Structure 1
């Protein structure tokens, strides 16, 4: 079972390479563009574009008759793919934020160790002088 079934269905085999995406509407078509960061020497494309036709819906009133003008809605496959893309990028951002936090804690620890080390060296010098 794949973690991102809709993207897999669309042919996205390496979701870990995705760096960003965009969705635009042109006429009655939604265009999803996925941008990848490929390893050096890869022959795979850096971007892929997918087109999804917009769906026409007519609002129905309580009496079962058409109410108002036609409404254009996005394809459910597009919505599912965008949700999976949001999840991928959010997980990556969370990992990046955690890495930054760990690096900051490590920097503070090194600073503290340096201060304590200098303090102990000063104590040793005082003992030698007395």
Structure 2
């Protein structure tokens, strides 16, 4: 049994309520999102987002768009430890996404963000009337 020290340091304490997690890459950072099982009426957040900067490596400019660049820019050790703990908690073994799956996941995330923002703006417009 692990004490989930990395997750505790990140401010996560309700381990039994974690339902799933997702990881995506945004430019030069990794974004980890942890989802909780909470009632719809709960005032506590249904998810938490954590951002981790990717380490920068000093390599020639012409190599930065190559496969070697992708391999050099590993994720944060803290993120890796958090992922290991989350995998233990949720009983999942994350498989690497194919480029197509990664793009589809990014597209879904963008659609969700846009839909939420549109709903927020519509609600503000309704409040003006």
Task: Give the TM-score range, shorter chain.
Answer: 0.5 to 0.7
| Runs of 4+ more than 6 Å apart | none
Question: In the alignment, which residue of structure 2 is the partner of 1:53?
Answer: 53
Q: Distance in 2 between matches of 1:40 and 1:12?
A: 20
Q: CA deviation at 1:43?
A: 1.9
Give the structure, 1 or 2, with the largest relative contact order (CA under 8 Å, sep 6 or more): 2
Question: In the alignment, which residue of structure 2 is the partner of 1:81?
Answer: 82
Q: Distance in 1 between matches of 2:17 and 2:39?
A: 8
Q: CA deviation at 1:58?
A: 5.0
32-41 or 9-18, which moves further after superposition?
32-41
Q: Distance in 2 between matches of 1:57 and 1:82?
A: 23
Q: Distance in 1 between matches of 2:26 and 2:9?
A: 23
Question: In the alignment, which residue of structure 2 is the partner of 1:102?
Answer: none
TM-score of the two chains, using structure 2 as the length reference = 0.56
Question: In the alignment, which residue of structure 1 is the partner of 2:43?
Answer: 43
The number of equivalent residue pairs is: 82
More strand by share: 1
SS of equivalent to 1:43: coil
Structure 2 segments unaligned to the other structure (5+ residues): 93-129
Q: Distance in 1 between matches of 2:6 and 2:15?
A: 11
Structure 1 segments unaligned to the other structure (5+ residues): 60-67, 92-130
